[in-house]
Amino acid sequence: MAPTLFRIKICGITNLADACLAAEAGADAIGLNFYPGSPRCISKETARDIVEALPAHVAKVGVFVNMPVPDVARLVDGLQLDWIQLHGDEPPEAIAELSPRRVIRALPCGQGALPRVVQYLERCAALSALPAALLADAAAGAAYGGTGRTANWDQLAPPREWLATMSLVLAGGLTADNVALAIAAVQPDAVDTASGVECLPGKKDRDRLCEFVAAARHAFA
């Protein structure tokens, strides 16, 4: 398993070619989406081919939306994924049930959403089930992410006492053109993009992907 949190994640990988492209470009994590309502949803068989082909240092993240916890656990363990990303309406109890697997909890962080995020994390803390990381995404309604909208950077900027020991992954509308600005403004531990490096939903664009990774790596450096 990847020992630490990644820094640059390319999400919504749907095929082996794009997975290899992300790894070759220097991304240190890929997201595999198992939500049937997403245009980036992939099968277990395709996911297995991708996981087996990628080097160990590239973290494999399973993205789930409201899937029953036992099904998530079976899929993650069977594929030997490094991280679980819960991107739906999962309660804190789901994080507790998935322990000791490492969970990234995606929550919408649009204008005025921070109090709800803090309340959710307080419920997690009460169960001793804080996620390993919070993924701050834009409010997306029924789409559950991948819309290209940006999160509210101002409310995510340091100081972030409410985040406690958790890492912050910034997502939502990140592209090669704005990722450096986002990293400077928010100072996240990692960044995550899907639609920002695509030519079509679920199909990555080589130039956009390579430019995004290079811009993010330079900004983090």
11 in active site: yes
Q: What is the pLDDT of residues 35-94, one digit of tens each?
A: 999 999 999 999 999 999 999 999 999 999 999 999 999 999 999 999 999 999 999 999
Give the span between the Cα atoms of 9 and 6, in whole angstroms.
7
Averaged pLDDT, 178-197:
97
pLDDT at position 138, please?
81
pLDDT at position 180, please?
98
| From 28, 137, 189, 192, active-site residue | 137
20 in active site: no
141-145 long-range Cβ contacts below 8 angstroms, 24+ apart? 142/37, 144/35, 144/37, 144/38, 144/65, 144/87, 144/88, 145/87, 145/106, 145/171, 145/172, 145/194
CATH 3.40.50.300 fits 8-220, yes or no: no
Q: What is the rounded average pLDDT for all residues in the chain?
A: 93
Q: What is the pLDDT of residues 101-127, one digit of tens each?
A: 999 999 998 788 889 999 999 999 999
The DSSP call for residue 41 is B
- Going by C-alpha positions, the residue among 143, 198, 196 that lies closest to residue 171 is 196
DSSP-based three-state secondary structure for 190: strand
Buried b (16+ CB within 10 A) or exposed e, 149-174: bbbbbebbeeebeebeebbbbbbbbb
Q: Which residues contact 9 (CB under 8 A, 6 or more apart)?
A: 27, 28, 29, 30, 31, 59, 61, 169, 190, 191, 192, 193
Q: What is the pLDDT of residues 150-172, one digit of tens each?
A: 888 988 999 999 998 899 999 99
| From 11, 109, 124, 210, active-site residue | 11
Q: What is the pLDDT of residues 125-148, one digit of tens each?
A: 999 999 999 999 986 555 555 556
